[in-house]
């Protein structure tokens, strides 16, 4: 499939710890595709394996199949207008709060003071804590990952109108693996949209099928990379040739839809977004669920782990009370 | 229509010349909408006014009506695949030419050496000279403007894949008036597309109806503004409130379509484009036609005129040989 890019089987590099590094990146080698050794959907059939967490989750078989094939699904009308209005109000309150404004967990747009993201919202807002354990989200995560789950990261994202900046193509897993020490591909993201996403206001762009290969990136990881990478990613960035191969094979899908939609995408799905000069702002709530069996270890690079607000390490708690576990 | 924005009738400011300034901008005043006093379509009815230049031009009445109402039309399949291939080859030759690379008329992407535009292509390429006088383009221009026409500006535009930068909202006329001394709104642009334009690779975005009001902008014009404005516009930029009003009233249309399409838009239509992180590059050939009766005078600001490669001033020649004049 990826003919021009050197492809290797499974270079298991021993890290400075007991866990083997199946997915080395930024280790001084040239960029290459590495075969994914992890499943995509861990609960293979809806209703099967009744003892497995999530075996009777909210997603139907057709959705599981789409997710397995493409590395993402876009679900319309998951949340009602009233629910979206509640989330929007809470978001406005948080964004205006002086306490939040001063906090480390707030990321601003490059070249302006506009708030781009507020991290760890499941810990600072009772409403978003409740949302993070809602069966529509956490139950689906448990179903796809076939395990109890916890929140690896959560955030509110704002993409302002007029001057919204692009976010370049990346696989989240590449960063979570290298900088956070996430061992395997057993995690996913859920984005709850709070505004209309059209093709023109910088929607999430995804490359179908890109989750099936791991793109090991060139370069190294600078210390405290997260201080700039959350604004504009420079390291762990795929090269043009590799991206063109992925797009040739799978194309690009824009996650457009009404507020209250949920986009679920695998931790290794290549995604990004264009800038936004339209007056239409975008915002969403973002949860990353990780399998309890896939808890982070020491990072697969020589630097200290990223802060707790970006990567849950100390406060790992499985989400309880989900149906049928 | 534009309730929040102060609207004034016709502030005719006397410039440092005989020609009155109907459209003052960047003169130290706050931003405001000014009524357009010029027609949009100068040949009102197809086939009427048989003595008027362009009265039997290539555009039908429905196209003239759409253009009058929206400020633009998008025409599919104007040029054949073979013609597009010829243009593309010529473009590649020009782009690779060391002589062209060294020339002033080449504009690069901000922050890179990628060529963004090559100006004055109708003067440096026999093929593009021929294209500039093709009846499908020049005949349509003459028809819409009801006068003999000349090339005010021409260029090749490249929007690279992966790192194509956005071009912010603007009215061309605002700049052509202030910096070039174009007296009235009797000019238009034609873009011949050489690549597929999709909603995702940074297509031209237009605001329907925006051509009917002139947005006088805040600020002043720095000397030799063109040296940076062709890469990234800072002066003559509409404010957020005014833009939001225009978009509320007219929405946004993305000029998508196959190679060989032609987008014709009025000199005062507000337009821009998002960046492009997809691998799909875009390129087009761009001609600005101005009415012979609307030749540029001294700029409506205190600075020297922009160079000849951006604004034809010395070499004004009406395009001859068009049908029915």
Q: Do B199 and A200 touch (CB under 8 A)?
A: yes
CA distance B165 to B116: 10
Task: Give kind and range of the element (H or E) at residue A68.
Answer: helix A61-70
Say which residue, B111 or B128, is predicted with more confidence: B128
Rounded to a whole number of angstroms, the distance from the CA of B302 to the nearest CA of chain A is: 30
Q: CB burial class (10 A; 0-12, 13-18, 19+) of residue A97?
A: middle
What residue ranges do the domains of chain B occupy? Answer: 20-294
Q: Report the gap between the CA of B289 and the closest CA in chain A (Å).
A: 27
For residue range A166-215, list pLDDT tens digits in order. Answer: 889 999 999 999 999 999 999 999 999 999 999 999 999 999 999 999 99
Specify the pLDDT at position A302. 86
User: What per-residue confidence (pLDDT) applies to A18?
Assistant: 62
- B174-200 average pLDDT score: 96
Rounded Cα distance between B86 and B91, Å, is 9
**Which residue spans within B167-310 are E strands per DSSP?**
167-170, 187-193, 204-206, 213-216, 253-254, 262-266, 271-273, 282-291
Residue B25 confidence class, pLDDT cut points 50, 70, 90 = very high
- Structure tokens, B244: 């939001």
Which helix (H) or strand (E) segment is B174 a member of? Answer: helix B172-175
Query: At B106, is the pLDDT very low, low, confident or very high (cuts 50, 70, 90)?
Result: confident
- Rounded CA-CA distance B319/B157 in Å is 23
pLDDT of residue B297: 95
What does DSSP say about strands B106-108 and B271-273: parallel, antiparallel, or unpaired? unpaired
Q: Is B197 on the interface with A (CB under 8 A)?
A: no
- Contact A169/B at CB under 8 A: yes
B51 against B288, higher pLDDT: B288
CB contact under 8 A, B279 and A244: yes
The yes or no reply on domain B20-294 and CATH 2.60.120.620 is: yes
How much is the pLDDT for A3?
41
Over 50: is that where the pLDDT of B4 sits?
Answer: no
Residue of A278, A280, A281, A282 best to disrupt the B interface, most CBs of B under 10 A: A278
ipTM entry:
0.84
Question: How far, CA to CA in Å, does A224 sit from each of A182, B42, B276?
Answer: 17, 62, 28
The whole-number pLDDT of residue B277 equals 94
E-only strand ranges, A18-174: 20-21, 32-35, 72-75, 106-108, 115-119, 149-159, 167-170
Residue B159 Rama label (left phi>0; alpha psi -120 to 50; beta): beta
Per the rule left: phi > 0, alpha: psi between -120 and 50, beta: everything else, A179 is alpha
Does the beta carbon of A272 lie under 8 angstroms from any beta carbon of chain B? yes
Residues B295-299, mean pLDDT to the nearest whole number: 95
Cβ burial of A45 (10 Å; 0-12, 13-18, 19+) is exposed
Written as six digits, the tokens of B56 are 């039997």
**A279·B199 Cβ contact <8 A:** no
Q: What percent of chain B has pLDDT over 90?
A: 66
Above 70 in pLDDT, residue B323? no
Q: Please indicate whether, in this complex, the C-beta atoms of A247 and B279 are within 8 angstroms of each other.
A: yes
Percentage, residues of chain B above pLDDT 70: 86
Residues A101-130 have a mean pLDDT of 85
Please list every residue in chain B whose beta carbon sits closer than 8 Å to the beta carbon of residue A252. 200, 278
Q: How many CB atoms lie within 10 A of CB A34?
A: 18
Residue B60 has pLDDT above 70, yes or no: yes
Residue B186: is its pLDDT beyond 70? yes
pTM over 0.90: no
The nearest alpha carbon in chain A to B200 belongs to A199
Average pLDDT of A274-299?
A: 95
Tally of CB atoms within 10 A around A202: 30
Torsion of CA B308, B314, B320, B323, to 10 degrees: 60
The segment with the largest mean pLDDT, out of A221-235, A308-322, B142-156, B214-228, is B142-156
Strands B253-254 and B149-159, how do they pair?
unpaired
Instruction: Answer yes or no: is pLDDT of B200 > 90.
Output: yes
- CA A199 to CA B200: how far, in whole Å? 7
Dump pLDDT digits (tens) for A116-132: 899 999 999 999 999 99
Q: Is the pLDDT of residue B9 over 50?
A: no
The whole-number average pLDDT for the span B38-47 is: 79
Chain B residues touching A276 at Cβ < 8 A: 274
CA distance B292 to B1: 33
Is the CB of B297 inside 8 Å of chain A's CB atoms?
no
Joined together, the tokens standing for residue A78 give 């998951």
Other Cβ atoms less than 10 A from the Cβ of B81: the count is 11
């Amino acid at each position: 499939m990826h003919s021009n890019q050197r492809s290797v089987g499974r270079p298991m590099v021993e890290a400075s710890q007991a866990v083997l590094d199946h997915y080395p990146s930024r280790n001084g080698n040239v960029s290459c595709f590495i075969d994914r050794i992890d499943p995509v959907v861990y609960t293979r059939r809806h209703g099967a394996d009744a003892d497995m967490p999530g075996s009777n989750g909210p997603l139907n078989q057709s959705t599981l199949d789409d997710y397995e094939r493409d590395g993402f699904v876009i679900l319309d009308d998951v949340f009602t207008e009233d629910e979206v209005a509640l989330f929007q109000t809470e978001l406005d309150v948080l964004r205006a709060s002086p306490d939040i404004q001063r906090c480390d967990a707030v990321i601003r747009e490059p070249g302006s003071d506009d708030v781009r993201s507020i991290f760890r919202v499941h810990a600072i807002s009772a409403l978003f804590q409740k949302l993070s354990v809602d069966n529509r989200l956490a139950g689906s995560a448990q179903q796809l990952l076939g395990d109890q789950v916890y929140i690896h990261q959560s955030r509110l994202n704002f993409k302002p109108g007029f001057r919204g900046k692009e976010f370049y193509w990346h696989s989240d897993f590449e960063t979570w693996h290298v900088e956070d020490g996430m061992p395997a591909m057993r995690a996913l993201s859920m984005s709850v949209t709070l505004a209309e996403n059209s093709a023109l206001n910088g929607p999430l762009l995804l490359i179908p099928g890109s989750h099936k290969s791991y793109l090991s990136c060139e370069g190294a990881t600078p210390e405290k990379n997260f201080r700039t990478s959350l604004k504009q990613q420079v390291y762990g960035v795929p090269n043009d040739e590799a991206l063109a191969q992925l797009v040739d094979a799978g194309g690009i899908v824009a996650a457009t839809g009404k507020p209250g939609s949920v986009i679920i995408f695998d931790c290794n799905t290549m995604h990004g977004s264009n800038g936004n000069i339209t007056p239409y702002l975008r915002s969403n709530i973002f949860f990353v669920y990780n399998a309890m069996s896939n808890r982070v270890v020491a990072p697969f690079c020589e630097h200290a782990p990223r802060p707790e607000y970006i990567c849950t390490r100390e406060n790992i708690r499985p989400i309880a009370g989900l149906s049928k576990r």
